[in-house]
Amino acid sequence: MSAFQADSQQLILALSKGRIFEDTLPLLEAAGITVTENPDTSRKLILPTNDPNVRVLIVRATDVPTYVQHGAADFGVAGKDVLLEHGGEGLYQPIDLNIAACRMSVAVRNGFDYETAVRQGARLRVATKFVETARTHFAKKGVHVDLIKLYGSMELAPLVGLSDAIVDVVSTGNTLRANDLKEVEAIMDISSRLIVNQAALKLKRERLQPIIEAFERASKK
C-alpha cells in the first residue's frame, strides 16, 4: 500500500468524471459525504470532501479498477463493461449500484444482413473497445471474428468500412440511429458496481462498512 494512504483513517475513492461521478454523488450524500469541488470546473485530480479523511480521485472510467486493484484507491465505482475487460483481480464487488444503466450490444449498418452473414459462417470484422466481452460473445455463438480495438467513436467504424459490426454500449439508441446503424443483438445488461480493494476491506473495514451499507440502502431506492 502506498505512503499516500498509509494512514488507516484515510479513505480514497476513485471515480470517473461524467455520469458515474454525477450518479455517485447522491450515494455519497447518503453516507454523509459531500464532494466540495466540482471536477468539471476544477483542474484538481484529488478532490476534497466535507470529511477530511475522505478524498476522491478523478480517473478515466477504464482506469478505476486499476487504481483500486493496486490499492492506490480503497474503493471505486466502475461499469460492468469495464470490470469484465479488466478481469476483476484484487477487487471485491459487494454491490450493484444500479447507476449508469445501459446494455452491451452488437450493431451493424442499416442494410447489412447480420443474421444471414452469421448463418452462412462469414468471418466478421468487429470494431470495439470491449475486446474481451466481444471475443467471449462470438466464441459462444461459434462466429469467427477479427476484432479491431478502438478507444471510442465505435459507431464510425461500419460507416467508413473499417468493420462490419461494432460491440458497444447502448442506452437510448440515439447514437446508433444518428449514424444509420441498428442494434442486432443484445449481449448483456450493464450497470455500475461498487468495487473495493481486498486488502483495504480487511484493514479499513470499520470505515468502509458503513459507507458500503449506506450505498446499498440508497441504491435500492
End-to-end C-alpha distance for the chain, whole angstroms: 35
74 touches ligand ADP by CB under 6 A? no
Residue window 51-70: x/- pattern of binding to ligand ADP, with contact defined by CB under 6 A? ----------xx--------
**Using CB under 6 A, which of 19, 103, 182, 207 touches ligand ADP?**
19
The grid cell for 115 is: 443474421
**Parallel/antiparallel/unpaired status of strands 181-197 and 75-79:** antiparallel
Q: Which residues on adjacent β-strands are paired with residue 185?
A: 106
The grid cell for 185 is: 443483438
- Rounded-to-integer distance, Cα 78 and Cα 93, Å: 10
- Rounded-to-integer distance, Cα 100 and Cα 191, Å: 5
81 touches ligand ADP by CB under 6 A? yes
Q: Which of 47, 65, 42 is nearest to 57 (CA)?
A: 47
15 touches ligand ADP by CB under 6 A? no
**Using CB under 6 A, which of 111, 142, 152, 161 touches ligand PRP?**
152
Q: By CB under 6 A, what part of segment 93-132 binds ligand ADP?
A: 100-102
The grid cell for 125 is: 470484422
170 touches ligand PRP by CB under 6 A? yes
**Which helix (H) or strand (E) is 11 found in, with range?**
strand 11-15
Stretch of 11-19, 35-43, 65-73, 87-95 lying at the interface with ligand ADP (CB under 6 A): 11-19
**Least distance in angstroms from the C-beta of 137 to ligand ADP:** 16
174 touches ligand PRP by CB under 6 A? yes
Closer Cβ to ligand PRP, 88 or 173, answer by number:
173
Closer Cβ to ligand ADP, 78 or 200, answer by number:
78
